[in-house]
Amino acid sequence: MIFPETRLRRLRYNSILRDMVSETQLSVNDLVMPLFVCPGSNVRNPISSMPGNFQLSIDLLIDECKKVVKSGVKSVLLFGIPESKDEHGHVACTADGIVQKAIIAIKKEIDDIYIIADVCNCEYTTHGHCGTIIDNDVDNDLTLKTLAKQSLSLAQAGADILAPSDMMDGRVQEIRKILDENKFEKIPIMSYAAKYSSGFYGPFREAAESAPKFGNRNTYQMNPANSDEAMREVELDINEGADIVMVKPALSYLDIIYRTKNEFNIPVAAYNVSGEFSMVKAAGEKDWIDQNRVMMEILTSIKRAGADIIITYHAVDAANILNM
């Protein structure tokens, strides 16, 4: 049938009916809140490019986690700012590492929380790259050893899931191997499988103090022009043992989320990254957009593209709207 017998607007006049036929349902269960932990006590350093976000010492991080859980968001993703750094990121592999100590402290205070631990070296190396530098480039295979040690240390501290974000070839296999050898076979891996070399990471690098001191990350993060290559990256990570695969960033890569969900029978995460967050905040502060409306539209689009899990700095704000 065609117009006038068929009128699609009939499904839009009544708000109850609109909700009944909604094809995409965004839920607080989909959301993960990223948080930044730093040394000290009673430290709450504002992140200037990410309004409402802070570097938090462990005592205040616990309070923040309680607020996150109270909003209905049950999972956090932790990034660490260490007291000192080294050439290889070894400081992230010890039991007294900043994230390891944070995990232990949070678990003592909060029962109903799921902690995702980012696995990478950029926050912990003096040069800001994601691994050991040989001949002015990150050496893939040497970096795997550090990533494996870091992963084991985070698992021993009580991390619920590990999320390697470095984009080294073979790192999921190396992490899965060391976890299984040490009886952590129940801990899943959520790999940053298709992580692009993106300009949207700028505010995060301020937050995590992780900007590279020289060059860029083009030799290990993906070319934004490539889609088929992303499917190869995802497939390799699945074959190496990834339980969940991630696309990062989200908003400019909805097609990659869609392809990943359609081509592989596996849970898909998407990272609504700092630059995407900060653009909404900046435009909202100038009253150029309805901030909350745009926020929810973006998150719904990520869900509609196929993401099962959405990591976003909007998590608590979105949860408060969803809970209304």
313 pLDDT more than 90: yes
Residue 6 forms part of a structural domain: no
Told to judge if 303 belongs to the known catalytic residues of this protein, a careful annotator would answer: no
Section 69-84 average pLDDT: 95
Residue 5 forms part of a structural domain: no
pLDDT at 215: 61
213 pLDDT more than 90: no
Tens-place pLDDT, residues 121-158? 888 888 877 778 888 888 899 999 999 999 999 999 99
Closest C-alpha to 247, from 183, 204, 239, 229: 229
Q: How far is CA 229 from CA 219, 241, 250, 286, in A?
A: 14, 19, 17, 39
pLDDT at 31: 98
Told to judge if 195 belongs to the known catalytic residues of this protein, a careful annotator would answer: yes
Closest C-alpha to 237, from 319, 180, 298, 164: 164
86 pLDDT more than 70: yes
Provide the 10 A C-beta neighbour count for residue 320: 14
98 pLDDT more than 70: yes
Residue 12 forms part of a structural domain: no
110-114, 217-221, 294-298: least confidently modelled range: 217-221
Provide the 10 A C-beta neighbour count for residue 122: 25
CATH of the domain at 281: 3.20.20.70
Q: What percent of the chain has pLDDT over 90?
A: 83
Residue 41 forms part of a structural domain: yes
Q: By residue range, what is the domain housing residue 114?
A: 24-322
pLDDT at 126: 83
Residue 8 forms part of a structural domain: no
Rounded CA-CA distance 277/295 in Å is 8
The tokens of 232 are what? 């190869």
pLDDT at 300: 98
Residue 92 forms part of a structural domain: yes
Rounded CA-CA distance 324/314 in Å is 16
Q: How far is CA 71 from CA 2, 34, 66, in A?
A: 46, 14, 9
Residue 75 forms part of a structural domain: yes
* Burial class of 302 by CB neighbour count within 10 A (0 to 12, 13 to 18, 19+): buried
From 74, 101, 177, 195, active-site residue: 195
As for how many domains the chain has, the answer is: 1
Angle between helices 228-240 and 171-181 (to 10 degrees): 10
Beta partners for residue 62, in sequence order: none
Closest C-alpha to 271, from 313, 300, 301, 208: 313
Residue 1 forms part of a structural domain: no
pLDDT at 266: 96
From 74, 107, 145, 248, active-site residue: 248
Contact 61, 37 (CB under 8 A): yes
In the chain, the amino acid numbered 230 is A
Of residues 36 and 90, more confidently modeled: 36
Q: pTM to 2 decimals? A: 0.96
